[in-house]
Amino acid sequence: MQSTTSKPTISLRINVRISLGLLAMFLVKAWRATAFGVYGYLNFTKSGFLEHSKSFNPEDVARRIDGKNCIVTGANSGIGYATAHGLASRGATVYMVCRNKERGEVAVSDIQAATGNQKVYLEVCDLSSVNEIKSFTSRFRTKDVPIHVLVNNAGLLENKRVTTSEGYEMNFAVNVLGTYSMTELMLPLLEKSQPDARVITVSSGGMYTSPLTTDLQFDRGEFNGAEQYVRNKRVQVALTEKWAEKYGDKGIGFYVMHPGWAETPGVTKSLPSFSESLKGKLRTSNEGADTVIWLALQPKEKLVSGGFYFDRAEAPKHLAFSATKKSHSAINSIIDTLNSFGNF
């Protein structure tokens, strides 16, 4: 018996399904942006920090960490500088990893003068280059010093597609491949300071607007730097979960945080309209770095390895009805890709 369903009818049904699928995707994306905007305005601004800080315990960040060795990437300005300053003021030995030697030297000198701590050192490394990271970590390992805290702060939002000398899209190279390479290659020195070792990665609340995607270098569709940035930041959250699971028996804690909306040189340069529209409402770099320093100082038994933190508290990794949670299942495939890129 022949089917009574005509080919035009089948085509119509397929077109309707495709249209409904595209509409659903559009609505979910619109919801993510709206929910993020409202949630962010209420929580990520300076007023949000001031409100949340009413419940902060000053003793949590009052302790000294003399004798602890800390690495902070992207440390010559913004949240990285504030983090390095905060750790140095508490007695830590701080290695500031910067791309620009001259700006790095000025930052080191300023922190030494302000804190009275001379154990602040400059390490020059371009985090967009896997080869430079390999060279830096190999050189640093000859110091044979245990690393107690690694702060993956270096980040980039490049609005136009730029390709590195190694062939990678620039945002991805710094935010994802650079962060992954630095962490994996520093594991032997982190293990030396167990059970107190910890890795803290600075993400962004913008990741709430994006699911995890295997399109790591934005090869599909028209390139959008801001969207690539939040995709990268979602990868950092998923990587932290995986690191906590994979290296849970090595005495290393892995944490990811976001600083809220802070007025930093990077934000002003990359998102000028955003910075201008919220002028006077953005957090300072010190306020943005507060949770990084808090995570570095807390007893590990008070923290959740693999957790996402904001304003000194564990925060949700997904907004309600945003359809991003299941996407984290792609992290194993992403790690395989990163390993192949870095030849790890």
Q: State the Cα–Cα distance between residues 193 and 251, nearest whole angstrom.
A: 8
Identify the residue whose tokens are 């700006």. 103
In the DSSP assignment, the letter for residue 56 is -
Q: Pick from 180, 182, 150, 176: which is nearest to 164 by CA?
A: 176
Helix 285-297 vs helix 78-88: angle between axes, to the nearest 10 degrees?
50
Helix (H, G, I), strand (E, B) or coil at 72: strand
In the DSSP assignment, the letter for residue 283 is B
Regarding beta strands 197-202 and 252-257, do their DSSP bridges make them parallel or antiparallel, or are they unpaired? parallel
Q: Radius of gyration (Cα) for the chain, nearest Å?
A: 21
- Residues taking part in catalysis: 229
Q: State the Cα–Cα distance between residues 268 and 221, nearest whole angstrom.
A: 27
| Cβ atoms 179, 232 nearer than 8 A | no
Q: State the Cα–Cα distance between residues 69 and 72, nearest whole angstrom.
A: 10
In the DSSP assignment, the letter for residue 269 is H
Q: Which residues is 71 bridged to in the sheet?
A: 95, 150
Q: Pick from 9, 39, 16, 2: which is nearest to 258 by CA?
A: 39
